[in-house]
């Protein structure tokens, strides 16, 4: 399949999906007042995940018997 044909088919399918979403009312409207809260919450969760991922797992471990 030629790249131009693939791109044309993709654009047609995307347009059809947008029309279908608009007709069903599934298009989400963004509330600009909620965006800062969502951004802060998102970045806080990212920071928490990074802290959990980089915390050393050796804390609280005891040496194996016989060592």
**More confident of the two residues 20 and 59:** 20
Q: Across the chain, which distance is largest between two alpha carbons, in Å?
A: 71
pTM given for the model: 0.38
Give percent of the chain above pLDDT 90.
Answer: 34
How far, in Å, CA of 1 to CA of 10, rounded?
Answer: 13
Per-residue pLDDT of 21-61, as tens digits, reads: 888 876 555 666 777 888 899 999 999 999 988 867 655 66
């Amino acid at each position: 399949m030629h790249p131009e044909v693939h791109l044309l088919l993709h654009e047609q399918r995307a347009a059809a999906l947008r029309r279908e979403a608009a007709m069903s009312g599934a298009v989400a409207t963004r509330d600009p007042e909620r965006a800062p809260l969502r951004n802060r919450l998102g970045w806080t969760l990212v920071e928490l995940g990074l802290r959990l991922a980089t915390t050393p797992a050796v804390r609280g471990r005891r040496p194996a018997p016989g060592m």
